[in-house]
Structure 1
Amino acid sequence: MTEQLYILFCESPFQTNKVDEDFEDQFISAKENGFETLLFNFEDLTSADRFSIATKRIKQNEELVKVIYRGWMLTPNQYSILYNDLLTKNFKLINNAEEYQNCHYLPDSLKFIENRTPKTVFEKFENETSIDKLIEKSKAFGQKAVILKDYVKSEKHDWETACFVADASDTDKLKKSITKLVELRDKYLNEGIAVREFVELNDLTIHSKSGMPLTEEYRLFFCNKKLVGIYDYWEEGEYKLSKPDTTEFEKIAKQVESNFFSMDIARQKNGELIIIELGDGQVAGLPDKIDRNEFYKQLKICCC
């Protein structure tokens, strides 16, 4: 007998027992491809005083079954709460808390991809002193250009003021940009700040709203060490080249301690491919060009 597979989605913040509108297309595709669906309240889970009731409408299952979350990003602590709460109801998320953080936080994922990703230094953010420590670590880049982000997200749309620094040795500019990044991320800042070597990537186009340069990037999804698919990352720009050979990245994926994750890769101007970062597959967004129905069809194949 085939194991029943479940997908967990966020409930609409405006209507109970209805999927969040931003995930409605995925909800429909999951059901059409044979997944059972569950809903929980994201707002409750991420609240300081209501997290314990986030899954109150999910009933106890008779036997332990696997469930994949597809929804908004969670901190490792929030994910751990969700994981343990679901477990009491006989639903086991595909990744445990450690496996989630392995790909969700850039510093945790470096042990799997360090040899194929741009040079990176990082520092947990606690106060102004943390910025000074990070600037000291950034001396490793010399006069090279660098990119800034927190452990999960960047502020790409504030490219010149909070993301890109043309010369890492310009400590005044570097400090201003890091400070601006912290200000923009505010309460959503993920744990700490990472400084990464800027690598020249193959140009695609210029973002129509932010003016940010878009480059030839792809998002791969892996489930149970098997490739679900490779997809164009950006919705803008024309991908003129054929999709890259994924053989090497499939080998790397087998070493990643996660059961469901994304891998973003990019083509450099010299034609070589690099890994930009990993992400937990449950909170990694689906690029706009992805056929949702095809994605869930392939996901189910890899899950079985």
Structure 2
Amino acid sequence: MFLFPGDVVRPRRVDEHFAGEAEAARAAGCPVALVDHDAAARGEVADAVARVPGGATAVYRGWMLSSRRYAELDSALAGRGVRLHTDGERYRRAHELPGWYDALSAFTPASRWTTGTDRRDFEAVRAGLGSGPAVLRDYSKSMKHYWLEAAYIPDLADAVQAWAVAERMVQLRGDDLAGGFVVRRFEEFTGAEARSWWIDGVRRLVTAHPDTPDELPPPDLDLTGLQPAIAALALPFVTVDLARRADGTWRVIELGDGQVSDRPASTPPADLINALIQNFPEGTVSGNSPSITEAQPR
């Protein structure tokens, strides 16, 4: 079964952003049900899963949830007899950088992080990386759209400026801040990012990044060397975003849980849905499964 967020205005409909994937799932014979994302984000999980029938293994495809809220959603669904293919613990390891960094440290910029936002801890992390430019984020997200004020640190040796960037990031992230500070050494990249999709440690799709949907990955993007590291993480469904460094080496920018990773507009919904259906351990879904009534557009 696929779980999608319901539309805020018309709650019996799938959120328009995911409507194409829901239709592809129905066309493949998979049940589709609705989750109230806003209720889940508030921690009102009983309301969030009220439309989900029991007795199935489910894949969520929807908006991002914090690790805490996702774990609550996982528990609420289990109470209804629904097993999320990605449980709360594995979601956290994919969703938060400390959960995947060690396995991918050879493929991604050097990083250090804190627990919480105490300045003394930040200073220790900053000093540990030495001097030079860096990029700041929290465990799950950067403020890249506020690059100069809340993400980019021109020189870690400048303690005053580095802390000003950290304070601004905390201000902008507010209650959504996840975990603590993550400081990553800056590397110069060229061109658009590529998004790769991995199911049980095997790459199944390579697409454009959602921010640049018309800039398709180059044909020479070889991810063979990355596969053992992704497989070692033992995560059921993840995306890995990559960018080409100035010296031509492809580097991992981000790993995330695939359920809450956006699909670029240039990738047909059926490509992703069929990859999921065909490659999860449960195997190919029969074409005779009915759709869930509540999820049908009205």
TM-score normalized with structure 1 length: 0.87
Q: Which residue of 1 aligns with 2:264?
A: 287
**Structure 1 residues 243 and 57, CA gap change in structure 2 (3 angstroms):** same
Q: Secondary structure at the match of 1:195?
A: strand
Task: Give the alignment's Cα RMSD to 1 decimal.
Answer: 1.8
- Following TM superposition, by how much is the alpha carbon of 1:197 offset from its aligned partner in structure 2, in angstroms? 0.4
Q: Which residue of 1 aligns with 2:103?
A: 112
Native 8 Å contact 2:207 2:216 kept in 1: no
Counterpart CA distance in 2 for 1:68 and 1:46 is 18
Whether 1:51 and 2:39 are equivalent positions in the alignment is: no
Deviations 1:189-224 (A, max 9, x none): 11211010001112x3xxxxxxxxxxx321111112
Q: Which residue of 2 aligns with 1:14?
A: 9
Counterpart CA distance in 2 for 1:12 and 1:238 is 29
Whether 1:220 and 2:196 are equivalent positions in the alignment is: yes
Whether 1:242 and 2:219 are equivalent positions in the alignment is: yes
The 5-angstrom pairing of residues 126-275 of structure 1 reads: 126=117, 130-202=118-190, 204=191, 216-233=192-209, 234-235=211-212, 238=215, 241-275=218-252
Native 8 Å contact 1:45 1:51 kept in 2: yes
- Following TM superposition, by how much is the alpha carbon of 1:162 offset from its aligned partner in structure 2, in angstroms? 0.7
Q: Which residue of 2 aligns with 1:60?
A: 54
- Which 4+ runs in 1 deviate beyond 3 A? 236-241
Counterpart CA distance in 1 for 2:9 and 2:213 is 31
**Which one of 68, 80, 83 corresponds to residue 89 of structure 1?**
80
Counterpart CA distance in 2 for 1:274 and 1:199 is 9
Amino acid across the alignment from 1:12 = D
Residue correspondences, number: 280
Runs of 5+ unmatched residues, structure 1: 1-5, 205-215
Amino acid across the alignment from 2:99 = D
Counterpart CA distance in 2 for 1:36 and 1:240 is 32
**Which one of 17, 20, 24 corresponds to residue 25 of structure 1?**
20
Q: Secondary structure at the match of 1:124?
A: coil
**Structure 1 residues 243 and 298, CA gap change in structure 2 (3 angstroms):** farther
Deviations 1:68-127 (A, max 9, x none): 00111112221111111112222111111111111100011112212221111111225x
- Following TM superposition, by how much is the alpha carbon of 1:238 offset from its aligned partner in structure 2, in angstroms? 4.5
Identity %: 25
**Structure 1 residues 102 and 94, CA gap change in structure 2 (3 angstroms):** same
**Structure 1 residues 9 and 243, CA gap change in structure 2 (3 angstroms):** farther
**Structure 1 residues 223 and 175, CA gap change in structure 2 (3 angstroms):** same
**Which one of 46, 66, 70 corresponds to residue 79 of structure 1?**
70
Q: Secondary structure at the match of 1:71?
A: coil
**Structure 1 residues 118 and 242, CA gap change in structure 2 (3 angstroms):** same
Native 8 Å contact 2:45 2:76 kept in 1: no
Counterpart CA distance in 2 for 1:22 and 1:240 is 23
- Following TM superposition, by how much is the alpha carbon of 1:30 offset from its aligned partner in structure 2, in angstroms? 2.1
